[in-house]
Structure 1
Amino acid sequence: MNSRFRPRKRPDPAVLDNHRPLLRSLERRGLIRGGLSLGALTMLTGCDVTRPASVEAALLAISRLNDGAQAWLFDPNKLAPTYPASMVLKPPKFNAYYDVTDVKPVNGTDWRLDLSGLIADKRPWTLPQINALPQRTEIIKHICVEGWDYIGQWTGVPLRTFLERVGADLHAKYVAFKTADDYPSSIDMATALHPQTLLATRYADDTLADPFGYPLRLRMSTKLGYKNPKWITAIEVTNTYPGGYWEKLGFPWFAGV
């Protein structure tokens, strides 16, 4: 690993418990928007709504259905709104499952991007090689699952361009990411090929700062913030569902906005 992050332990069950109210709130809002009441939920699932564990299991089942529905409705050619440079937040807002004081810089000179899975050319990439690829700049909104957002200006190589360059199977189902802070994540191939999905190396015309993902992070216009991993160290193209950090704790996988 090329990071200098402090060794971290996975969250204990209390961390998940702290996020369960947010998960329940998100799913219940989804049910309300869809016109599905707890009474209807009982009829559909046979769950006892007086038992929190039963309701939570049903909500997670609905979440998985929502993932499939969102994927089916996703338009790979529709662009998200963009904004003027005057609205860009400088610096961007830090977000992670730990405090910013736990971030230690990644050595960009030694850093390599490893490739695996359904990719023809699996040779690792260096930062200068990535910077030599055609670049694109997007001024888009970052939307956090916790309810806040900001406008950011991101520059990098379109993920589609990179996948094409390394001979990835563009008909595969998933693109998965490993990171220096042990935050695995994955996205569907349609989102990976979206024109506004970037492997970002710069923010607001400056090199990406250490707390925000240097030397390489994913930046998408069509997903919630927790789907955008920072400090990427490896990319895999696969047909096997890879999951992700928060998804293993019960959060939706597709997470489209």
Structure 2
Amino acid sequence: MSDKKSRILLIEDDASIAELQKDYLEINQMEAEISSDGKVGLTRALNEPFDLIVVDIMLPSMDGFEICRRIREKKNIPLMIVSAKKEDIDKIRGLGLGADDYLTKPFSPSELVARVQAHIKRYQLLTGSDSANETIESNQIVIDKSARRVHVLGKEVIFTTKEFDLLLFFMTHPNRVWMKEQLFRQVWAMDDLDSDIYTVVVHVGRIREKLKKANLSEIPIETIWGSGYRFNT
């Protein structure tokens, strides 16, 4: 295991909040850097080697939604949104643009640290050597775990980090019903909260949408009303 510290970018224009987040992350053996401007933060996110990015929505020069969209066009590293915007539509939009998590203000710094650590650990685990040289195939979907690539009907389809993780979990645990809370614990590696149901719902929806666009005739992820989801083989 490397002793290299995880490097976090905080795109946040409220100096007091940013410094508090930075302090707590550094206390927990991570490196944290702050960008208070949206465009500057995006440039750094795209051109520097960060392990995770935390972005606010309301920012000077470019909002967090646009930053999230642009990052996801280029990178699949863990990406979290933190915002005072608590409406469900904002959370669904953020997750729909590719964020792995959405944390509403105010929140405890320790919760931020726990989520950051969980996302980084999960990402490193799934991109590490343990997954080498393994492919999984079902319903004309082929996952290459080592390369983190997905092919549908022979054509590559691009998934974000958590979309890939969730699809991989479904395909390695087929033909059983998974509650949304269980999926959140398994894939996001965190205890479930009521608001986090949207995280799972949005990611399942995006996976289905991409499979449909890839011309898959039967979408294998079935909604079991009142229970959760099942990946049928």
Specify the TM-score bucket, using the shorter chain as the normaliser: under 0.3
**Which structure has the greater CA radius of gyration?**
1
Bigger helix share: 2
Using structure 1 for the length normalisation, give the TM-score. Answer: 0.25
Using structure 2 for the length normalisation, give the TM-score. Answer: 0.27
